[in-house]
Structure 1
Amino acid sequence: MRILHILDHGLPMHSGYTFRTRAIVKAQQSLGCDVRCLTGPRHSAPGPAVEVVDGIVFHRTPAPPPARAPIGEWREVGAMRARIEALVREWRPDILHAHSPVLTALAAQPVARRHGLPLVYEIRAFWEDAAVGNGTGREGSLRYRATRWLETRAARRADAVAVICEGLRGDLIARGIPGDKLFVSPNGVDMALFGDPIATDPAFARQIGLEGAEVIGFIGSFYDYEGLDDLIEAMPRLIARRPAAHLLLVGGGPMEAALKAQAAASSAAGRIHFTGRVPHQEVERYYALVDVLAYPRKAMRLTELVTPLKPLEAMAQLKLVAASNVGGHRELIEDGVTGTLFAPDDPDALADALAGLLEDRAIWPQRRAAARAFVERERNWSSNISRYRAVYQRLTGKAS
């Protein structure tokens, strides 16, 4: 079976989006599928029009001339549509699989209809809620409502709709999308990448000032909705109870400058360490330094509906996980069994949860084992991929 994935961006760029895509494609390749990817104009990494990255063929869409919204977005849709059309004529895929944001589906749908190809639309987050989460939109605004309408329309027109969690599925059903059109393909972990944790490197810990420390960590992108400002605010209270506590922040993003300024003004400034973005192949070295991974996401529609990927990677790495009690985290974490949940938007509750975990080391082995078992049993990409296969077979009539 030939599968064309249509993406906002892809490797070699690094994000949760690209790592999920990689996992899907690699699993499909392992089943003998012929897979290619097409990225949209927002893919910003330099490179040729067609390139192979990590054994995956990527076709790129050149960026159209910039323009203000919504003209700029429609130009992007037109550019992607032309590339999809050309690739369909040249390569003859059996199925099109567009991944959010909704621009990819808008580009793919007319091509799919013209050529009689089935279209799967995969929603990883609603575009309107993602805009609110990253600070570029406002809930209830005209643009928000227009984007929501486009998202719903795209889901209605697709032959099947994949979502990453039950929160998104329930929201689409409430919009009138038939439940039998929807299927959940949850975030998962490639155990070949994260399933064999490495030991802590004492020299590396000493090099970055963490020798002998109790390390709270966050590894990911610095968006406002991640609540890292609450994590920084919690540090003085945590240090008062656990004098050896340090905070390690690995990554970068829109909030980086503001977070660094907040940390510099904190009485815990000397205990807060920023590494910047690190190469993906080095991430495990940083995981190895951390005792507890903290995910203090703020309470909002995005975090209530959407499950993140990073807590699963931490569980696979046999790390303790503490997360805010929002819907997306509750789908992944059973409080007191596979992780610890605390009240969102509450630095004091966050500090108390972290201190409690650091003080009760007797529970660590059982907690780590339970979390790892959950990932292996329910969030392993090698088993998740079967959800796509059944849908593809139904839509194309082909066995593989």
Structure 2
Amino acid sequence: MAQPARRLSVVLATRIFQPEPAAASLRLSALVSELAAAGHRVRVLTTTVPGGEEYVPPPGVEVRRWPVLRDAAGYVRGYVQYLSFDVPLAVRLLLTRRPDVVVVEPPPTTGAVVALVCALRRIPYVYYAADVWSDAVRAAGVAPVVARVLRFVERSVMRGARGVLATSAGVAARLDALGVRSGVVAVGNGIDVETFTPDGPAEAPGAPYLVYTGTASEVHGADVFTRAMGRVLAERPEARLVFVGQGSDVGRMQAQAADYPPGAVEFLPRMPPERTARWIRGAHAALASVLPGDYGFAFPSKVYAAAACGTPVIFAGAGPARELVARGGLGTVTDHDVDAVAAAMIDALGRDMDAADRDRRARWAAENVSASAVARDAVAVVEAAAGR
């Protein structure tokens, strides 16, 4: 790759990064890899990670970690947990050698810290809008005053940014409606097509199963799948439903699953991408959902992971994923309705896993949603922000 006319110093501030398994980790690691490949120096300011996994950064990338509070599930989620990262981050940013540009990952509180320090040091910053947090907290039913304060903080941070990276056209459109119109670029939200592939080992637990991977929160409405499982078991008593990940709705889904035979619904913790890919490859279908409502513009990246593995998707709910799944021939689209979802699940369990269809879906993912291609578009925004 041709080297840029000017080699930049870039700082990435994020509470979550590799090897912690999450869509954000994959997206951000692709970004720093492409920045390094373009000849830039990258310093990642992030958190220590529980467990024994290691991340080996590419040449030109330095990762600096700091201890942080985590919730009971081991996730940096919640006001106290965010503050345990944000407060030290302010000091870390003040003491680090002055970069040309800072890239910051949500939450908006972290964005506010970066905006303040960058204003003091006269450094441009780029905000990575993976979603709209103030809409998400409203959907979660938090106090209206909290939602209004977060809306003000989030909008202010993005208006002050030299560039805003939106992970979907839906997010970009929502930002425009909120008055964030300058510097927003819809770069997309890709998937690692070298890890998530149709080839490789697959889980084979002995019974046909459907899998849901990633976050299951109030905005996803993933409990529609556990509620539908009762109808599925009536016709396919051997079937299984597997959840891999975490989220605020998991407790409710576990309570719903307690009414079913033992083993019919299984909940597994977050796991490395390689293991997640095994579960997706072995499934008759991968499940994804977005609850209709204020957050209906969201796009679940688990759709991309399923397509890259060649596994058909059952998408239930609202948002741009409906059109993409239908247009790309990636699977089945239903309303967020228990009867419709159950019918789609039963149909998927009765279908043979066709190798040609798997290859076609995987090719679509490689051509349309490669994480490296998305990251290259993001690099251009970062370079423009630094050079303005």
TM range, normalised to the smaller chain?
Answer: 0.7 to 0.9
CA distance in 2, matches of 1:70, 1:245: 39
Match status 1:94 vs 2:89: no
Tell me the equivalent position of 2:41: 34
Match of 2:376 among 365, 386, 389: 386
Aligned length: 369
Residues 123-151 of structure 1 show CA distances to partners (whole Å, capped at 9, x for unaligned) of 11222233345x4725xx01101111111
CA distance in 1, matches of 2:223, 2:81: 33
CA distance in 2, matches of 1:173, 1:388: 19
Tell me the equivalent position of 2:75: none
Tell me the equivalent position of 1:282: 275
CA distance in 2, matches of 1:107, 1:229: 35
CA distance in 2, matches of 1:171, 1:44: 33
1:108-147 equivalence runs, <5 A: 108-132=114-138, 135=140, 137-138=142-143, 141-147=144-150
CA distance in 2, matches of 1:329, 1:174: 20
Residue identity over aligned pairs, in percent, reads 24
> Which deviates more, 274-283 or 104-113?
274-283
Match of 1:11 among 11, 18, 30: 18
Shift of residue 335, structure 1, vs aligned partner: 5.6
Q: Secondary structure at the match of 1:125?
A: coil
Residues 39-94 of structure 1 show CA distances to partners (whole Å, capped at 9, x for unaligned) of 2xxx46369xxxx8321533245669xxxx9899778644322211111xx3x322
5+ unaligned residues in a row in structure 2: which ranges? 1-7, 70-77
The 8 Å contact of residues 187 and 309 in structure 1, kept in 2 or not, is answered as: yes
Which of the pair has the greater relative contact order for Cα pairs under 8 Å at 6+ separation? 2
Shift of residue 110, structure 1, vs aligned partner: 3.0
Shift of residue 382, structure 1, vs aligned partner: 2.1
230 and 177 in structure 1: CA distance in 2 versus 1, 3 angstrom threshold: closer
Query: Under a length normalisation based on structure 2, what TM-score does the superposition of the two structures give?
Result: 0.84
Whose helix fraction is larger, Structure 1's or Structure 2's?
A: 1
1:129-168 equivalence runs, <5 A: 129-132=135-138, 135=140, 137-138=142-143, 141-168=144-171
1:199-210 equivalence runs, <5 A: 199-200=201-202, 205=204, 210=205
Tell me the equivalent position of 2:4: none
Tell me the equivalent position of 1:188: 190
Residues 128-182 of structure 1 show CA distances to partners (whole Å, capped at 9, x for unaligned) of 233345x4725xx01101111111111111111111111111112122223x511
CA distance in 2, matches of 1:102, 1:62: 20
Q: Secondary structure at the match of 1:217?
A: strand
CA distance in 2, matches of 1:130, 1:31: 34
Which residue identity is paired with 1:187? N
Match of 1:368 among 358, 374, 380: 358
1:1-400 equivalence runs, <5 A: 1-39=8-46, 43=47, 45=49, 53-55=55-57, 57-61=62-66, 77-87=86-96, 90=97, 92-132=98-138, 135=140, 137-138=142-143, 141-178=144-181, 180-195=182-197, 197-200=199-202, 205=204, 210-211=205-206, 213-266=207-260, 268-302=261-295, 304-330=296-322, 332-334=324-326, 337-344=329-336, 346-361=337-352, 364-365=354-355, 367-397=357-387
5+ unaligned residues in a row in structure 1: which ranges? none
The 8 Å contact of residues 310 and 359 in structure 2, kept in 1 or not, is answered as: yes
Shift of residue 244, structure 1, vs aligned partner: 4.0
